[in-house]
């Protein structure tokens, strides 16, 4: 099951990173850190292979 608000945040952040030619900057590091924090808060689904 998708958590759509989180997906939208990730898409917006990726668009910002891509608009900057994918260069690593303090701003992109900050965006990625925030995305990881969001991902860490979303419950994981059980592994289908396990």
Residue 21 backbone class (left: φ over 0; alpha: ψ -120 to 50; beta: rest): left
Tokens linked to 27: 């701003």
Task: Supply the pLDDT for residue 31.
Answer: 80
Domain-by-domain residue ranges, the chain?
A: 4-41
pLDDT at 27: 81
pTM of the model: 0.55
Segments in the chain below pLDDT 70: 1-2, 45, 47-50
- Sequence-distant (6+) residues with CB within 8 A of 27 are 16, 20
């Amino acid at each position: 099951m998708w958590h759509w608000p989180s997906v939208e945040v990730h898409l917006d952040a990726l668009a910002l990173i891509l608009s900057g030619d994918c260069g690593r900057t303090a701003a992109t590091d900050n965006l990625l850190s925030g995305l990881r924090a969001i991902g860490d808060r979303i419950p994981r689904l059980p592994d289908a292979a396990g």
